[in-house]
Amino acid sequence: MTGPAAGLDAAHGGDHALELAGVGRRFGALTALADISLKVKAGERRAVLGSNGAGKTTLFNTITGDFAPTSGSIRFFGEDITGFPVHERIRRGLRRTYQVSLLFAGLSVIDTIFLACRGVSRRRFSLRRPGPDEPTRAQAERIMHAVKLDESRDALVGALSHGQQRQLEVALALAGAPRFILFDEPAAGLSPAERRDLVQILTQLPAHIGFIIIEHDLDVALRVAERVTMMHEGRIFREGTPDEIESDPEVQAIYLGGGHG
């Protein structure tokens, strides 16, 4: 395509949120990721499944910039971000949650969300020159509602259940204007009821926000994702729709025959 429309398309980053080409990551002699090529469309919901040590979290670390890949390139909405620092990726709308909770126990739920929203907004200097915080407050209230924490609005984070803390982590990823979120095992350690809440929260996120969810629970993964990528020993060995993955004999052997979950 040529002309103004092509330029507009490039400015909006084309139709892929993420394009990984030949991404690898070594730790000394260990190859944690080998030649990962992966495309995720804008707004797409993708699950990444794989055994312990398959390289799933390392994949996230290379996308967010926590670790540089040792080979390959990563594009975010068409822009090559391979060498970008973490904050430049956040500024472009990339978010993540971590496998282990990192929350401030002594703050209330609403204050935690508010501070996250203010931290990524231009109003963050308002401590020096107090200005209207209302738009940020309103955003914090909307996000709290989206993650179903209304009833715990003024509770201290340290007093929340494990499931509620996971919901709060989703809230933090929604602060600002996220375009794509990486969720690292958000359902780990949740009760069946908490899992149902989480699935509902994730499926009800605004349609333009795409995500990748790393998930050991096949049931959760297949319910929230449109496509599934299977990893093993640092490589992708299968990609397909939830139906295709569920009926795949190799996947069945691992997840259904192997007494998983």
Ligand X SMILES: Nc1ncnc2c1ncn2[C@@H]1O[C@H](COP(=O)(O)OP(=O)(O)OP(=O)(O)O)[C@@H](O)[C@H]1O
Q: Could you tell me which of 52, 70, 54, 23 has the C-alpha nearest to residue 237?
A: 54
Q: Binding of ligand X at residue 56 (CB under 6 A)? A: yes
Q: Mutual orientation of helices 192-203 and 162-174 as an angle, nearest 10°?
A: 10
DSSP SS3 for 2: coil
Near ligand X by CB under 6 A, which window of 27-35, 37-45, 90-98, 192-200?
27-35
Between 61 and 100, how does the x/- string for binding to ligand X read (CB under 6 A)?
A: --------------------------------------x-
Q: If contact means CB under 5 to 8 A according to the sort of partner, which of Mg ion, ligand X, none does residue 93 touch?
A: none
Which residue among 6, 9, 27, 85 contacts ligand X (CB under 6 A)? Answer: 27
Q: Which tokens in the block code for residue 67?
A: 């670790």
Q: Binding of ligand X at residue 232 (CB under 6 A)? A: no
DSSP letters, 65-92, are TSS--SEEEEEETTEE-TT--HHHHHHT
- Residue 56 Cβ, how far from ligand X at the closest point, in Å? 3
Polymer length in residues for the chain: 261
Q: Binding of ligand X at residue 57 (CB under 6 A)? A: yes
Q: Which tokens in the block code for residue 43?
A: 């707004």
CB 220 within 8 A of CB 163: no
DSSP SS3 for 131: coil
- Residue 216 Cβ, how far from Mg ion at the closest point, in Å? 9
Q: How many residues bind ligand X (CB under 6 A)?
A: 12
Q: Binding of Mg ion at residue 57 (CB under 5 A)? A: yes
Which residue among 1, 2, 4, 52 contacts ligand X (CB under 6 A)? Answer: 52
Q: Binding of Mg ion at residue 229 (CB under 5 A)? A: no
Near ligand X by CB under 6 A, which window of 54-62, 80-88, 174-182, 237-245?
54-62
Burial code (b: 16+ CB inside 10 Å, e: under 16) for 209-233 equals: bbbbbbbbbbebbbbbbebbbbbbe
Residue 86 and residue 185: Cα distance in Å, rounded?
21
Q: If contact means CB under 5 to 8 A according to the sort of partner, which of ligand X, Mg ion, none does residue 104 touch?
A: none
Near Mg ion by CB under 5 A, which window of 7-15, 56-64, 160-168, 189-197?
56-64
Q: Which residues bind ligand X (CB under 6 A)?
A: 27, 30, 32, 50, 52-58, 99
Q: Which residues bind Mg ion (CB under 5 A)?
A: 56-57
